[in-house]
Amino acid sequence: MLWKLKDRTVDLGRSGVVMGVLNTTPDSFSDGGKYLNQDAALQHASEMISEGAAILDIGGESSRPGADPVPVEEEIRRVIPTLRIVRSAFPGIILSVDTTKSATAWEALLAGADIINDVSAAKDPEMAAVLKESGAGIILMHMQGTPKTMQINPTYSDVVAEVFEFLKQRTEALVDQGIDRQCVAIDPGYCFGKLLAHNISLVRNLKKFKEIRRPIVVGVSKKSMIPQLLSQPRLPMKDRIWPTVAFTSILREEGAHVFRVHEVKPNVDALRMTEAILFDE
């Protein structure tokens, strides 16, 4: 399983990778405001890399439920300086920018990003042109609605079939516009326009998505499904770390390749342990 990025190709055949989250937003659900300062952001990037993150995902617009959109100029102002200093300090690390906007994506690629992580699955009409010209990797995620509306009564007839068909169609749409299929990765979008039952169905049936024959990215770190599953609605963020680790192990066994998380080391350890059991002779 090869994933082509802007200047390199990642082999995900036997080893999955952890993508560490670096938010430059004041309102992220997990760590809002902690890394607005560039020194703090660089320190956190250094820590995540030392703990085994292969990718850092830098975002300047919160996609938590109910979040308001951020103007493109403000998103660029938040993201690009941090991306530049991280790229300068760590030239070998893979960098992703978490954005739905082609203008932000283009500026990020010029600043050193390798991947566009797009929760809207490249619906910006100019995104395909950005991808084609740059050769960047793209993560296509499924979301019902928008971050502002996605958790207002999400409804499916068959969540697995509908999410699968959406990701398959979005992949083919980009390929039809000249994007190399090997640049595409897919993400079922846990907790993005889904109720608990929808999320669990997508966990249990993740192997279905291997039929698209592209790397599978998952992001469940500290999300609302964890306190729901544990019947602890007020579970603090610090107590969602180890349940996230459990998800990393389960989802690797179900076929996921890239794990977007807030705490890197325990998830890297879980990933390597799971792979040792699954694959090593």
Catalytic residue list: 223, 260
3-state SS, residue 177 = coil
How many C-beta atoms lie closer than 10 Å to residue 63's C-beta? 24
Could you list the beta-strand ranges (E) of the chain.
2-4, 9-11, 17-23, 55-59, 94-98, 115-118, 137-141, 184-187, 217-218, 258-261
CB 114 within 8 A of CB 5: yes
Separation of alpha carbons 102 and 115, rounded Å: 12
Helix-helix angle 127-134:102-110, to 10 degrees = 20
β-pairing verdict for 9-11 and 17-23:
unpaired
Which tokens sit at 219? 């992001």
Residue listed under structure tokens 């996605």? 150
Written as six digits, the tokens of 212 are: 């698209």
227 Ramachandran zone, left/alpha/beta (phi>0; psi -120 to 50): alpha
Token readout for 160 is 């697995």
Helices (H) and strands (E) in the chain, counts: 9, 10
As a whole number of angstroms, the distance between CA 251 and CA 33 comes to 29
